[in-house]
Amino acid sequence: MAYNFTAIEKKWQSYWLENKTFAAIEPAEAGNMPKAYVLDMFPYPSGAGLHVGHPEGYTATDIYSRYLRMKGVNVLHPMGWDAFGLPAEQFAIKENVHPNLTTKKNIGNFRRQIQMLGLSYDWDREVDTTDPGYYRWTQWIFLQLFNSYFNPIEKKAMPIAHLLQELANDNFVVAPDGSIHLNPTTEGMEAIAGQRGIARLWRELGPEEQRELLDGQRLAYMDEIAVNWCPGLGTVLSNEEVIDGKSEVGGFAVERRPMRQWMLRITSYADRLIEDLAGLQWPESLKEMQRNWIGRSVGAEVDFDLANAGDESEAITVFTTRPDTLYGATYMVLSPEHPLVDRITTDAQKPSVAQYRAQIAGKSDRERLADAKEKTGVFTGAFAINPVNDEPIPVWIADYVLMGYGTGAIMAVPAHDERDFEFAIKFQLPIRQVVSPNPIVKGAPANPLTPLGRASAEPGYAINSPMIDGLPTEEAKERITAELAVEGVANKCVKYKLRDWLFSRQRYWGEPFPILLDDNGNAHAIDESELPLKLPEISDFKPTGTPQPPLSKATDWLNVARDDKTFTRETNTMPQWAGSCWYYLRYIDPKNSKRFVDPVKERYWMPVDLYVGGVEHAVLHLLYARFWHKVLFDLGHVSTPEPFNKLVNQGLILGEMEYHTAQEPPVKVTEDQVERKGETFALKSDPSVRVKAECFKMSKSRGNVVNPDEIVRDYGADTFRLYEMYLGPLEASKPWNTRDIVGMMRFLNAVWRNFVGDEESNKVARVEVMPVPEGLEKQMHRTIKKVAEDIEGLRFNTAIAELIKLNNEVTGLLAIPRELAENFALMLAPFAPHIAEELWSHLGHTKTLARRPWPTFDPAKLQASTMEIPVQVNGKLRGRITVAADAAEEAILAAAGADPAVKQWTDGKTVRKTLYVPQKLVNFVVG
Partner RNA sequence: GCCCCCGUGGCGGAACGGCAGACGCUACGGACUUAAAAUCCGUUGACUUAACGGUCGUGCGGGUUCGAUUCCCGCCGGGGGCACCA
For residues 17 and 742, which CB has a smaller minimum distance to RNA in the complex? 742
- Restricting to residues 546-585, which ones interact with RNA according to CB under 7 A? none
- Restricting to residues 769-808, which ones interact with RNA according to CB under 7 A? 795, 797-798, 800-801, 804-805, 808
**Torsion angle (degrees, nearest 10) of CA 215, 217, 221, 227:** 120
For residues 182 and 915, which CB has a smaller minimum distance to RNA in the complex? 915
Q: 831, 746, 734: which is closest to 52 by C-alpha?
A: 734
Half-sphere exposure of 70 (CA within 13 A, CB side): 27
Please state the closest distance from residue 315 (CB atom) to RNA, in A: 16
Q: Which of 203, 442, 700, 876 binds RNA (CB under 7 A)?
A: 876
For residues 111 and 492, which CB has a smaller minimum distance to RNA in the complex? 492
Q: How far apart are CA 504 and CA 628, in angstroms?
A: 16
- Three-state SS at 610: strand
Please state the closest distance from residue 513 (CB atom) to RNA, in A: 28
Q: Which of 51, 200, 260, 734 binds RNA (CB under 7 A)?
A: 734
CB 614 within 8 A of CB 57: yes
Please state the closest distance from residue 497 (CB atom) to RNA, in A: 3
Please state the closest distance from residue 485 (CB atom) to RNA, in A: 17
When asked if residue 289 is in the footprint of RNA (CB under 7 A), the reply is yes
Q: Which of 315, 354, 485, 750 binds RNA (CB under 7 A)?
A: 750
CB 260 within 8 A of CB 386: no
Instruction: Give the x/- contact pattern for RNA in 599-638, rule: CB under 7 A.
Output: ----------------x---x-------------------
Q: Which of 372, 446, 449, 898 binds RNA (CB under 7 A)?
A: 372
Please state the closest distance from residue 524 (CB atom) to RNA, in A: 34
Q: Which of 105, 112, 746, 847 binds RNA (CB under 7 A)?
A: 746
Q: How far apart are CA 460 and CA 684, in angstroms?
A: 59
For residues 245 and 295, which CB has a smaller minimum distance to RNA in the complex? 295
- Restricting to residues 390-409, which ones interact with RNA according to CB under 7 A? 399-402, 404-408
For residues 183 and 320, which CB has a smaller minimum distance to RNA in the complex? 320
Please state the closest distance from residue 776 (CB atom) to RNA, in A: 15
How many Å separate Cα 574 from the centre of its chain? 20
Please state the closest distance from residue 369 (CB atom) to RNA, in A: 4
Please state the closest distance from residue 27 (CB atom) to RNA, in A: 37
Instruction: Give the x/- contact pattern for RNA in 319-358, rule: CB under 7 A.
Output: xxxx------------x-----------------------
- Three-state SS at 259: strand
DSSP line for 843-857: TT--S-STTSPPP--
Q: Cβ contacts of residue 300 below 8 Å, gap of 6+? A: 319, 320, 323, 477, 481, 484, 490, 491, 492, 493
When asked if residue 371 is in the footprint of RNA (CB under 7 A), the reply is yes
First to last CA, the chain: 62
Q: How far apart are CA 748 and CA 762, in angstroms?
A: 18
Q: Which of 34, 108, 258, 743 binds RNA (CB under 7 A)?
A: 743
Q: 264, 239, 273, 266: which is closest to 254 by C-alpha?
A: 239
- Restricting to residues 97-126, which ones interact with RNA according to CB under 7 A? none
Other Cβ atoms closer than 10 A to 428: 8
* CA angle, 795 then 797 then 803, to 5°: 105
Instruction: Give the x/- contact pattern for RNA in 826-865, rule: CB under 7 A.
Output: ----------------------------------------
For residues 570 and 809, which CB has a smaller minimum distance to RNA in the complex? 809
Please state the closest distance from residue 816 (CB atom) to RNA, in A: 15
Phi, psi (rounded to 5 degrees) for 522: -85, 145
- Restricting to residues 169-228, which ones interact with RNA according to CB under 7 A? none
Bridge pairing between strands 391-397 and 331-334: parallel
Q: Which of 168, 446, 877, 888 binds RNA (CB under 7 A)?
A: 877
CB 881 within 8 A of CB 867: no
Please state the closest distance from residue 748 (CB atom) to RNA, in A: 10
Q: Which of 203, 739, 814, 910 binds RNA (CB under 7 A)?
A: 739
Q: How far apart are CA 506 and CA 573, in angstroms?
A: 6
Q: Which of 130, 139, 267, 749 binds RNA (CB under 7 A)?
A: 749
Q: 362, 405, 392, 357: which is closest to 377 by C-alpha?
A: 357
Residue 614's alpha-carbon distances to 246, 297, 337, 651, in angstroms, are 25, 29, 38, 7
- Restricting to residues 703-732, which ones interact with RNA according to CB under 7 A? 726-729, 732
For residues 668 and 913, which CB has a smaller minimum distance to RNA in the complex? 913
Instruction: Give the x/- contact pattern for RNA in 494-513, rule: CB under 7 A.
Output: -x-x----------------
Q: Which of 635, 745, 850, 895 binds RNA (CB under 7 A)?
A: 745
Please state the closest distance from residue 228 (CB atom) to RNA, in A: 14
- Restricting to residues 53-82, which ones interact with RNA according to CB under 7 A? none
SS (H, E, C) 510-567: CCECCEEECCCCCEEECCHHHCCCCCCCCCCCCCCCCCCCHHHHCHHHHEEEECCEEE
Pick the stretch among 258-266, 342-350, 597-605, 868-876 that binds RNA (CB under 7 A). 868-876
For residues 789 and 886, which CB has a smaller minimum distance to RNA in the complex? 789
DSSP line for 591-644: T-SSSSS-HHHHHHHPSBSEEEE-GGGTTTHHHHHHHHHHHHHHTTSSS-S-SB
**Torsion angle (degrees, nearest 10) of CA 597, 599, 605, 609:** 80
For residues 707 and 874, which CB has a smaller minimum distance to RNA in the complex? 874
Pick the stretch among 162-170, 199-207, 684-692, 746-754 that binds RNA (CB under 7 A). 746-754
Please state the closest distance from residue 778 (CB atom) to RNA, in A: 13
* CA angle, 59 then 37 then 74, to 5°: 100
When asked if residue 459 is in the footprint of RNA (CB under 7 A), the reply is no
The alpha-carbon radius of gyration of the chain (Å, integer) is 35
When asked if residue 911 is in the footprint of RNA (CB under 7 A), the reply is no
Q: 194, 406, 195: which is closest to 319 by C-alpha?
A: 406
Q: Residue 598 — left, alpha, or beta (φ > 0 → left; ψ -120 to 50 → alpha)?
A: beta
DSSP line for 677-742: ETTEEEESS-TTSEEEEE-----TTTT-PPPHHHHHHHH-HHHHHHHHHHSS-TTS-EE--GGGHH
Please state the closest distance from residue 342 (CB atom) to RNA, in A: 19
- Restricting to residues 644-683, which ones interact with RNA according to CB under 7 A? 657, 676
Please state the closest distance from residue 746 (CB atom) to RNA, in A: 4
CB 253 within 8 A of CB 366: no
For residues 335 and 576, which CB has a smaller minimum distance to RNA in the complex? 335
- Restricting to residues 465-494, which ones interact with RNA according to CB under 7 A? none
Q: How far apart are CA 98 and CA 914, in angstroms?
A: 80
Q: How many residues bind RNA (CB under 7 A)?
A: 86
When asked if residue 297 is in the footprint of RNA (CB under 7 A), the reply is yes
DSSP line for 265-284: -GGGGHHHHHHGGGGSB--H
Query: What residue type is 647 in one-letter code?
Result: L
Q: How far apart are CA 23 and CA 36, in angstroms?
A: 13
- Restricting to residues 268-287, which ones interact with RNA according to CB under 7 A? 284-285
